[in-house]
Amino acid sequence: DQQVKQNSPSLSVQEGRISILNCDYTNSMFDYFLWYKKYPAEGPTFLISISSIKDKNEDGRFTVFLNKSAKHLSLHIVPSQPGDSAVYFCAAPFGNEKLTFGTGTRLTIIP
Amino acid sequence: NAGVMQNPRHLVRRRGQEARLRCSPMKGHSHVYWYRQLPEEGLKFMVYLQKENIIDESGMPKERFSAEFPKEGPSILRIQQVVRGDSAAYFCASSPGIGGENEQFFGPGTRLTVL
């Protein structure tokens, strides 16, 4: 049962434009969400998070939006840079903090 | 750099051999998590440990897999009698403790290949 879903396996965006990565979840018990960025042959790196008491969290070029009624969150990156090319995972902690991950979206920034 | 350390980075085993994967958490972190990533999939939770205790092993296969986090030394994920389906990237993460907004910090992973 995939409780966190990323339906777009890949996304290509022109450098300087906005990248929007989407994530849907099914478990209404989730109250905190994280985005991780992963380069090949490396472990995931924490990027940004959001608590369910908020609908937006911003950190520099990265903003995460949460729509609880739709059980949907999105990560916006603007402006997109070549170094942003990576696989992005959304995740939610459940129970004793173990993370449930989506399947990832491979973002490619085109120079 | 006192990040999460994993070794080896790459491990090749033949079917039937044992694989031992090591994880040293970040300094000051007492909680360790192991995740497995199969090709083209997301990371899947395996086990959550604190020092000398297994807190949650609901993601561990029932046979051949075991994990420990001794009082001294790294956490070990052991896979006995490996099969080809065990080929994957195994990631360890650590956190300082439960409660609140408690990000997990990941190591670089061990890539296990079973021939």
| Reported confidence tier of residue A9, pLDDT bands at 50, 70, 90 | very high
Contact residues, chain A, for B97 at CB < 8 Å: none
Residue holding tokens 């440990």?
B49
| Reported confidence tier of residue A29, pLDDT bands at 50, 70, 90 | confident
| One-letter amino acid for residue A29 of the chain | M
Q: Are A89 and A44 in contact (CB under 8 A)?
A: yes
The per-residue b/e assignment along B15-43, b for 16 or more CB within 10 angstroms, e otherwise, is eeeebebbbbbbeebebbbbbbbeeeebb
| Reported confidence tier of residue B42, pLDDT bands at 50, 70, 90 | confident
Residue B106 to residue B29: CA distance in whole angstroms: 12
Return the pLDDT at B102. Answer: 65
Out of A32, A41, A95, closest to residue B101 by CB: A32
Query: Which of these, A79, A49, A102, A23, lies nearest to B41 by C-alpha position?
Result: A102
pLDDT of A96 strictly over 70: no
Q: Is A1 on the interface with B (CB under 8 A)?
A: no
Residue holding tokens 């694989």?
B19
Q: Is B65 on the interface with A (CB under 8 A)?
A: no
Please answer yes or no on whether A101 and B102 come within 8 Å at the CB atom.
no
Return the pLDDT at B39. Answer: 81
Q: What is the mean pLDDT of residues B53-61?
A: 93
